[in-house]
Amino acid sequence: MRYLKYVLSLVIVGALAACGGGNLPDTTTGSGSSGTTPAISVASLAFQLDKNSINNSGTDKAVLTVTALNSSNNPVSGASLAVAVDSGVYTPVSATTDSSGQASGNITIGSSKANRNINATVSLGGKSVAVVVAVVGGQVTLTPLPATPSPGTPVTLSVKVADSNGAGVPNVPVQLTGTLGFNQTVTTDVNGTASANLGAAPNTAGTYSIIAAGVGVTAERDVQVVSTTGGGIPDAVGPISAPSLAITPNTIAPNTVGSTTNRAGLRAVFQNAANQAIQNVRVRFEIVPPGLGSGEQISTVGATVYSDVSGVAIADYIAGTRSSPTNGVVIRACYGLTDASIANGACPQFVTATLTVAGQPLSITLGDNNLLTRGNNSLTYIKQFDVAVADSAGVAVANAIVSASVDITYYGKGSYAAARTWCLNEDTNRNGFLDVGEDVNGNGKLDPRKADVILSFTGSNVTGSNGRTTIQVEYPQNVATWIDYTVKVTTSVAGSEGTDQKSYITSFIQGDDTNGSFLTPPYGVGGCTNPN
């Protein structure tokens, strides 16, 4: 190993400061001309969305590209773009139209995960247009217990509000109504769950409804009140060809004694060969022995639940006070088409899934040193990072699952020996495809390439007994000093997430600056809008 060369870093930092970039590379460009600026005249504008809807996970976005045109339908540069949204967030990528007449930005959901339309007013050069982006993915699931009460039996309702990834959405008011005879509002907890005591079932046998409205979604569930003399929910119609069981989140923290806060949602889905939902499948969720004990439980406590009109049956795994090994808790969903098929503990058919109960990592840290190593055949440079996870007492957290990513934010153009121009990553939506409006420099491809810097774990992505794991980034020698990249690490438990990220400029090993391939600019010498 050799020490990094700091002289180049100082030159780059000085160049950034000279460009007014501060801690980030300066992406502003100018024509270098002087004199009177002609008036900007925009006759019309056109807009394009890369998608008309975004999911409510919080990570999705819609890319808005607006083109300014003059009376001859030629692009107009230098026009300022303004976008106002009635909800969500608009983040500009470029606030002024370029030589192609285009400016762009991203629309995201903001703090609300409700299904809705985000209405945007786009203004450019005195012209305006309305744009609508739909937010989708909210889910409300209802589980009554018992599923088939007899007249006068108390009924409890479990409500689960989730986003498009199945993660619980906290602090959502859910309005409950229905012919079962109640009207009240409950609010979801940190896990996106809520419960309501609906009172005694009606004295008359029959089918009654429960209606829940929240997060922009209305869900309905029928409750069959069954007399002791017979009747009940109809048998499910099979065959079941695609059963599945998902657990969200798949890593949670133990509970303290008497608490049920830390829990994971169990979601079983049943479909036929045509991928159609199967209603009224009988399901019993259970912990596969030996389990952890110490108070762990299933929220339905061994009761039979029935899949709804979407073929979904749900429950919660509630952690006890003990931790588990990675994937050390096995949940089984026993299912059948009739009540008799899973009566008396029978489990003729089942699906399983696993989760981890681990001490909650409240802090995650990304660390590094000043060393680089060479990759295979000396074609690449490798920089390693230490990832540490600790709890609120500073104690190392073992078995924490770490996610890591690298994002190229800027790439450099110009001469190696002179101050360079730093340009934004052209792949604005980071999908790896050349979309409309992304080829800023006009060379027919995306710059930089996503694979110019890659990230990997040197071993497992799960922390060891010391709460640590190691990641590395690797890049070819020719892009050294020409890329600004950000490394991000996260770990998630019980719906809370620890995150750390740091930004770096690709560097080189001392001595390589005499004949290294990075002395030749890999992305050209012109400005950000120049293909050369």
CATH number at residue 85: 2.60.40.10
User: Are residues 284 and 349 located together in one domain of the fold?
Assistant: yes
On whether the CB atoms of residues 460 and 325 are closer than 8 A, the answer is no
CA distance to 244, 453, 506, per residue, from 8 (Å): 55, 19, 11
Q: Is the dihedral of CA 157, 217, 495, 287 positive or negative?
A: positive
Burial class (CB within 10 angstroms; exposed 0-12, middle 13-18, buried 19+) of 119: middle
- The pLDDT value recorded for residue 386 is 96
Phi/psi for 235 (5° steps) reads -65, 150
User: Are residues 408 and 500 located together in one domain of the fold?
Assistant: yes
Q: Is the dihedral of CA 458, 462, 465, 468 positive or negative?
A: positive
Residue of 301, 293, 356 lying closest to 321 (CA atoms)? 293
Q: Are strands 312-318 and 217-225 parallel, antiparallel or unpaired?
A: unpaired
Which of these three, 136, 165, 189, is where a domain ends? 136
- The pLDDT value recorded for residue 480 is 96
What's the CA gap between 143 and 35, in Å, rounded? 71
User: Are residues 503 and 417 located together in one domain of the fold?
Assistant: yes
Phi/psi for 241 (5° steps) reads -110, -15
Phi-psi region of 14 (alpha: psi -120 to 50; beta: other; left: phi over 0): alpha
User: Are residues 153 and 260 located together in one domain of the fold?
Assistant: no
CA distance to 47, 76, 356, per residue, from 498 (Å): 37, 45, 17
> Is 11 in a helix, a strand, or coil?
helix
In a domain, 400, yes or no: yes
User: Are residues 386 and 500 located together in one domain of the fold?
Assistant: yes
> Is 483 in a helix, a strand, or coil?
strand
In a domain, 234, yes or no: no
- The pLDDT value recorded for residue 228 is 57
Which of these three, 334, 357, 380, is where a domain ends? 357
In a domain, 218, yes or no: yes
AA identity, residue 107: I
User: Are residues 123 and 203 located together in one domain of the fold?
Assistant: no
Give, as one character, the DSSP assignment of residue 401.
Answer: B
Q: Are strands 139-145 and 282-287 parallel, antiparallel or unpaired?
A: unpaired
What is the pTM for the complete model shown? 0.47
- The pLDDT value recorded for residue 30 is 37
Residue 153 tokens read as 């039996």
Other beta carbons within 10 angstroms of residue 63's beta carbon come to: 20
In a domain, 172, yes or no: yes
Residue 497 makes CB contacts below 8 A (sequence gap 6+) with: 490, 491
- The pLDDT value recorded for residue 9 is 38
Residue 411 tokens read as 């790439």
Parts of the chain with a pLDDT under 50: 1-37, 230, 493-496
CATH number, domain at 344? 2.60.40.1930
User: Are residues 262 and 185 located together in one domain of the fold?
Assistant: no
User: Are residues 505 and 368 located together in one domain of the fold?
Assistant: yes
In a domain, 24, yes or no: yes
Which of these three, 113, 136, 159, is where a domain ends? 136
User: Are residues 120 and 192 located together in one domain of the fold?
Assistant: no
User: Are residues 309 and 330 located together in one domain of the fold?
Assistant: yes
Q: Are strands 349-357 and 251-252 parallel, antiparallel or unpaired?
A: parallel
User: Are residues 465 and 477 located together in one domain of the fold?
Assistant: yes
In a domain, 287, yes or no: yes
Domain containing 337 equals 244-292+304-357
| Residue pointed to by tokens 């929220």 | 299
- The pLDDT value recorded for residue 21 is 38
User: Are residues 421 and 487 located together in one domain of the fold?
Assistant: yes
In a domain, 510, yes or no: yes
CA distance to 407, 522, 524, per residue, from 448 (Å): 11, 9, 11
In a domain, 524, yes or no: no
Number of residues that make up the chain: 532
On whether the CB atoms of residues 529 and 440 are closer than 8 A, the answer is yes
Domains: count for the chain: 4
Burial class (CB within 10 angstroms; exposed 0-12, middle 13-18, buried 19+) of 236: buried
What's the CA gap between 219 and 140, in Å, rounded? 6
Other beta carbons within 10 angstroms of residue 39's beta carbon come to: 5
Q: Are strands 483-493 and 402-413 parallel, antiparallel or unpaired?
A: antiparallel
